[in-house]
Amino acid sequence: MHNIAALALMFAAAGPQAQPAASRSGVDAPERSADAGSKMVCKRFNETGSLVRTYKTCKTKAEWQRERDNVRSGSVANSCRLSGTVGGC
């Protein structure tokens, strides 16, 4: 009985350290974007006319910045067409 408890303790202590994190099967490393402007950013918005229903829109940082610049310059109508995304507005 003493040997079984010692063996179980040994495996429990060595278990998480037996495999490095990078070589675990089924776990992918997060992808890195080439530049800061190509990083995807998702934002959640409230649906117009509803108090609880929301929707999520994902765009790159560069697309969000282009849309902010268009709103500031007053050309809101062209913000969706310039981003090149379908259904992203």
Of 31, 35, 43, 33, give the one whose Cα is nearest residue 67.
Answer: 43
Residue at token pair 């849309």 = 67
* pTM of the complete model: 0.44
Higher pLDDT, 11 or 67: 67
In the chain the beta strands, taken as DSSP E runs, fall at: 40-46, 54-60
43/65 Cα distance (integer angstroms):
13
What mean pLDDT value characterizes the chain? 73
Name residues whose C-beta falls within 8 Å of residue 89's C-beta, 6 or more positions apart in sequence.
57, 79, 80, 83
Q: pLDDT > 70: what percent of the chain?
A: 45
